[in-house]
Amino acid sequence: MMTDTNANAPGRRIAFLSANTPEAEAARLRLIELYGDSDPETADVVVALGGDGLMLQTLHRFMHTGKPIYGMNRGSVGFLMNDYREDDLIQRIDDAESSVIHPLAMIATDIHGKIATAMAINEVSVLRQSYQASKIRISVDGKERLLELIADGVLLATPAGSSAYNLSVDGPILPLNSPLMALTPISAFRPRRWRGALLPDSAHVTLDVLEAVKRPVAAVADHFEFKEVVKVEIAMDHATNLVILHDPGHSLDERILREQFGFEDERRG
Active-site residue list: 52
CA distance 32 to 49: 12
Residue 82 DSSP code: B
Name the nearest CA neighbour of 123 among 150, 75, 161, 94: 161
Whether the CB-CB separation of 242 and 102 falls below 8 Å is answered with yes
CA distance 224 to 165: 15
Burial class (CB in 10 A: 0-12, 13-18, 19+), 203: middle
Residue 261 DSSP code: T
CA distance 206 to 229: 12
CA distance 181 to 156: 7
CA distance 254 to 211: 43
Q: What are phi and psi of 105, to 5 degrees?
A: -105, 125
